[in-house]
């Protein structure tokens, strides 16, 4: 199970990877960065991508069908008294798995990470459009998000 540095190292090994970060979208802070930043400043990029991630995670339009609440919803007691579940429908993490923003020269892939505490973390990959493989990048980010250990 990789930690932050190992995860970023694996992300940067992807073909066409230009930069990567692990970001807390509630605060906009980068927990770790590697490679380049699109605007030359990793902290500014983290803040800007956190705004995008927050909007996608909080607005009901992006939630799965039949769900009216995002990952910030309060837990709801089960009728049987068997515990709690999230009010986001199936209770399995954020309603959005990933976001892809396409520019003329690259892709920005944001992959939400489900954590045991508040699931407010995402992986951000800046991928070169000419040399990167978007499908491979999405699959690898999914695998890394499932294995990432945040301590």
Write out the chain's pLDDT in tens, 151 residues.
578 899 999 999 999 999 999 999 889 999 999 999 999 999 999 999 999 998 888 888 876 655 544 444 443 333 333 333 343 445 556 668 899 999 999 999 999 988 777 778 999 999 999 999 999 999 999 999 988 876 5
The set of residues, in sequence order, having a beta carbon less than 8 Å from that of 9 and lying 6+ positions away, is: 34
13-107-57-40 Cα dihedral, nearest 10 degrees: 80
Q: What is the pTM of this model?
A: 0.78
Q: Do residues 108 and 136 lie in contact, with contact meaning Cβ atoms separated by under 8 Å?
A: no
């Amino acid at each position: 199970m990789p930690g932050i540095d190992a995860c970023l190292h694996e992300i940067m090994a992807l073909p066409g990877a230009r930069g990567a970060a692990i970001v807390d979208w509630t605060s906009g802070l980068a927990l770790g960065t590697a490679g380049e930043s699109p605007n030359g400043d990793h902290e500014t990029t983290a803040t800007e991508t956190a705004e995008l991630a927050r909007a996608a995670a909080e607005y009901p339009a992006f939630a799965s069908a039949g769900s009216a609440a995002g990952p910030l919803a309060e837990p709801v007691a089960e009728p049987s008294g068997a515990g709690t579940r999230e009010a986001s429908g199936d209770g399995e993490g954020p309603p959005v798995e990933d976001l892809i923003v396409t520019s003329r020269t690259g892709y920005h892939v944001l992959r939400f990470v489900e954590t045991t505490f508040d699931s407010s973390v995402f992986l951000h990959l800046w991928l070169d459009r000419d040399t990167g493989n978007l499908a491979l990048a999405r699959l690898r980010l999914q695998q890394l998000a499932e294995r990432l250990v945040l301590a």
